[in-house]
Amino acid sequence: MPELSKKDETRMVRYRGQSLRLLQDAMDEIRVGRWLRCEELLWGSLTLAVKGVALARGRDLDGAKAVEEYAIELGNENRDRRIREAFTKLGTFGETAERVNEARIRADHLVNTLEDVTGAVERLWDMAPGGDLLSRLVQGDFDAPEETDNDHGLSLLNGPTQEELDELEDMDGGPLGQV
């Protein structure tokens, strides 16, 4: 993987923080039955995760089509169906949610999609620098972060500050605007 500049490292931290926050917000929306809002949050989380992996590999993706194509490429490269099919599954999420709301079908399909997309986002972040350590930290495998031997140090493990998250909210288009 190419060496990340300080600017790209900061971008990566922001992408990761916002992606994981959007994923958590999607889970919160599901608990109250807001499936369509959940879909929007999942799109944002997945998009940021794909863009984060691309950035770590020295690629800058521009536009939704490029992000989706790169997700398929990553899914094929890693033999991971969840990554390869994540955007396709999200593409039918809204229609399925409407059918669930109209009580024509059970929510099983939505739950399966949610699990697949969540798994894809987690796997994508595992591919990014510091991702495996972040996953272990989130799972509680560490009491507190320790200094790492890599060049990225703790900056990738600590995630964004509240100030950085607030800055993301203030960007044009809000939390789900252009990323």
pLDDT in tens, the chain (179 residues): 678 888 988 898 899 999 999 999 999 998 887 888 999 999 999 999 999 999 999 998 999 999 999 999 999 999 999 999 999 999 988 888 887 777 766 777 778 888 999 999 999 999 987 655 444 444 555 444 444 434 444 443 444 455 655 554 544 344 444 44
Token pair 């796997």 in the structure block, residue: 123
CATH of 8-141+149-176 given 1.10.760.10, 1.20.120.330, 1.20.1300.10, 1.10.3720.10 = 1.20.120.330
Instruction: Give the per-residue pLDDT at 148.
Output: 41
Is 32 exposed, middle or buried (CB count within 10 Å of its CB: 0-12, 13-18, 19+)?
Answer: exposed
DSSP string across 101-121: HTTSS-THHHHHHHHHHHHHH
Instruction: Give the per-residue pLDDT at 146.
Output: 42
Instruction: Give the per-residue pLDDT at 28.
Output: 92
Angle of helix 6-31 relative to helix 35-56, nearest 10 degrees, comes to 160
Helices then strands, each counted (H, E), the chain: 8, 0
